Structure 1
Amino acid sequence: MEKPSIHPYIPIIIGVFSVALSAIFVKMTSADSGVTAFYRMLFSVVIMSPIFFLKYTHEIKKLSKRDWLFASIAGIFLAFHFILWFESLNYTSVASSTVLVTLQPLFAFAGTYFFFKEKLSIKTLLSGAIAILGSVLIGYGDFKVSGNALYGDLLALIACALITTYLLFGQDVRKRLSLVTYTFVVYGVSTITLFFYILVKGESFGPYPASEWMWFLLLAIIPNLLGHTLFNWALKWVSTNVISIAILFEPIGAAVLAYFILGEYLSASQIIGGSVVLAGITLFVVDYQKIKKYFLRIKA
């Protein structure tokens, strides 16, 4: 395999920092959650359009009716994931919201268990129990702060379930399409879904001050196009587990950024609960047998 021009961990670190900024940008906007999500998706599609139409339009012919159905469902779930997650940030802290969204691997396992009949391992059950305990601690602490904070936590959990469903429906289609084409199609469906959502809700497409447009654009460029693209680039040289573990640092980065930029402080329950959640997810995604073999090779 060819050697990367730079160490893969460098793009991964930049990617984590990029996705961690997502919650900060959302907090900085004053627009409704649906509007913020709509412009995030719309600007992403617009920026991707030249590359897609110049090099990848031929791949659209590969899409069957089933592919279109699954890609559309994925786009719809992605749209409502953003709506609920952005809305959660209006009620709870950046730290609580982003930690709860990192429960995605466990939601994914639940989905594969119920839909694909994958077996439950002891490690999975233990990691799930630990992560749920951490979530309860966060929710309990936020409930003591206010009922609104607990409501925000609930929205973040539902948003996590929705993004997992988006991935489950999209993984089959993704196998037959390039990253650019798959992302363009799903983001396009998501944009259309959000457009009609805003019409039904009666929310305003504008006008907005220049600062709002800046946050919308930054949401599209940094978390959407830069962060996830860097993760996908790094997958050529590192395992999925490395990326999964790296993404666990998103809540930590978001919490630190929220402290310095938004002045959000962490409560004891958030720190303890968040740490427990991350410990549970780490237990779930880490392949200890591979790590053991790796160190045995080093000793040899």
Structure 2
Amino acid sequence: MTYTTLFLAVFALSTSAIFVKLADAPATITAFYRMLFAALLLLPFLVASKSNRKELSTLTKKQWGLGLLSGVFLATHYVLWFESLHYTSVASSTVIVTLQPLFAMVGGYFLFKERYRLGALIGCLVAIIGSFVIAWQDFQISGEALYGDILAFIAAGVITAYFFVGQHIRKKLSLVPYTIIGYASSSIFLWIFALTQDVSFVDYPSETWWYFLLLALVSTIFGQTVFNWLLKWLSTTVISMGILGETIGTCLLAYFILGEVISLQQGIGIALILIGLALFLLLQRQNVKIADDKRNQLN
């Protein structure tokens, strides 16, 4: 059930690059309204729940600090990634920003003592190769595109840090309080950053406002928020591996919405990603089951 939910969330997240491309607004403004609208959409769930309100009022300074830190990471990630989409292609930016497993495996090994079977590592490598196969024809040898690719790569590392904070704090904090703290603080940081730029907060066409709302509802509530929920049961590495599937969703959506053709090369890349994900998730699940069985025997 958790893996099914993971892939549904990945598909929802796949809409991000499409909506950002369609929105006629600067990266900072797009990110600001995405976080603000997402926080407002979740606010009724906080207000209506006595347990959520009580939990929020009894947070420790450390929990508040980690929640605010997650907001900083999230704000930074979206500014860097959205900005990268102005310099490089959707495929290239999406592929690079979903290289989170590279950061997640290193961080998971040192921070959470996670161990990976050889087959799972091979599956990760196959999936990453599949991502590069999809985007290979879109990589451009130019300074502008390279700048966009570097921004997307940094964004991948930052969002991985966000998930590591969530993996730690979600063990003791419920979904809605944690998520609202992260989204609300992220929107505040983005608002402050936007004030330093010569950009408007309101002068945008009606279609762009709809894309802001869709980014909040579809990409964030049904995508990012579901990842926050899954962090209680799945590691950052597993979620990051699942997010590699975002490349597939983005290609399919680009075909139907933007009219971009899925080439044979992209089809091969999609197949490699699916094979790699299946291999990684299957073997990693077996690894977790073996570890649980050992713990049960010791108890």
* Closer/same/farther in 2, CA of residues 106 and 241 from structure 1, 3 Å limit: closer
**In 2, Cα distance between equivalents of 1:236 and 1:69:** 19
Comparing 138-147 with 155-164, greater Cα deviation is found at: 138-147
Say if 2:181 is the partner of 1:211. no
The residue number in structure 2 matching 1:60 is 56
Which amino acid is the alignment partner of residue 256 of structure 2? F
Change beyond 3 A, Cα 1:197–1:265: farther
Cα deviation, 1:189-216, whole Å, max 9, x if unaligned, reads: 1111101110122322122121111110
Change (3 A) 1:136 1:234: closer
8 Å Cα contact 2:131/2:247 also seen in 1: no
- 2:103 aligned residue: 107
Aligned pairs for 1:236-247 (under 5 A) are 247=243
TM-superposition CA deviations, 1:71-109 (whole Å, max 9, x none): 111110111111111122222332222232332233111
Which residue, out of 45, 58, 64, partners 1:51? 45
How does the TM-score come out when normalised to structure 2?
0.78
Deviation at 1:61, TM superposition (A): 3.1
Query: 2:60 and 2:231 mapped to 1: Cα distance?
Result: 27
Q: Deviations over 1:35-74 (max 9, x none)?
A: 0000000001111112212312211233222222211111
CA RMSD after TM alignment: 3.7
Contact 1:35–1:205 (8 Å) recurs in 2: yes
Q: Any gaps of 5 or more consecutive residues in structure 2? A: 290-299
Query: Contact (CA 8 Å) 1:95, 1:270: kept in 2 or not?
Result: no
Identity %: 49
Distance 1:116 1:235 in 2: 13
Task: Tell me the TM-score normalised to structure 1 length.
Answer: 0.78
Q: Would the alpha carbon gap of residues 51 and 137 (structure 1) be closer, same or farther in structure 2, given more than 3 Å must change?
A: closer
1:253 is matched by which residue type in structure 2? G
Are 2:168 and 1:172 aligned? yes
CA displacement at 1:233 relative to structure 2? 7.2
1:193 is matched with 189
In structure 2, the residue matched to 1:86 is: 82
1:83–1:282 Cα change, 3 Å: farther
Cα shift at 1:18: 1.9
State which drifts further: 183-192 or 103-112.
Answer: 103-112
Amino acid at match of 2:36: L
